[in-house]
Amino acid sequence: MKSLEELKAIRERTRGQMNLRKEDGPDNTRIVVGMATCGIAAGAKPVLSAAVDQVGRRKLDHVVVTQTGCIGMCMYEPIVEIYVPGQEKVTYVKMTPERMEKIVAEHIVNGQIVGEYTIGANE
């Protein structure tokens, strides 16, 4: 059974590293997941979990995962936008947890945009 005590252990383990990850840090890469009614109905929840899981697993301290409302292109949901500092925003559409994993590995870690999942390739 999970106990509140385990949180204390997490606190001990992660204290001191916390100042690295700030929501609006200028050097941060942002993964933005659309979580309005359209996104949720289309499957954004497991996509969000996959993003957080990958960022945690790979210890990507410069990456923040945030949520947003309706982006206005509901037929392409779930939509994920990636903001890498100094680069143009990339919009990925019809996302799945598997696509999310690939995008974290290819786009965020290796710096290669996954063309086939972008909105440009799906219009």
Partner 1 sequence: MTDLSLYVLDIVQNSIAAGAARIDISLLREGRRLVFRVDDDGRGMSAEMCAKALDPFTTTRSTRRVGLGLPFLKLAAEQTGGTLELKSELGKGTSLSAEFDAEHIDMPPFGDFAGTVFALIQGSPDIRFVIKRQNDNREYTLDTDELLEQLGGEVPLNEPEVLAWISDFVNEQELRVVSYEL
Q: Interface residues with partner 1 (CB under 8 A)?
A: 1-2, 4-8, 10-11, 13-15, 18, 21, 35-37, 40-41, 45-46, 48-49, 52-53, 55-57, 65-67, 69-72, 74
Q: Which is nearer to partner 1, 34 or 103 (CB)?
A: 34
34 φ/ψ sector (left φ>0, alpha ψ -120 to 50, else beta): beta
CB of 53 to partner 1, least distance (A): 7
Q: Which is nearer to partner 1, 3 or 86 (CB)?
A: 3
CB of 73 to partner 1, least distance (A): 9
CA–CA gap between residue 93 and residue 113 (Å, rounded)? 13
Q: Which is nearer to partner 1, 2 or 86 (CB)?
A: 2
Q: Which is nearer to partner 1, 2 or 111 (CB)?
A: 2
CB of 88 to partner 1, least distance (A): 21
The residues, any chain, with a CB within 8 Å of residue 67's CB and separated by 6 or more, are 32, 33, 34, 35, 48
Q: DSSP strand E in 35-121: where?
A: 63-68, 80-83, 90-92
DSSP conformation class of 116 = G
CB of 81 to partner 1, least distance (A): 14
- The partner residues of 80 in beta bridges, in order of sequence, read 33, 92
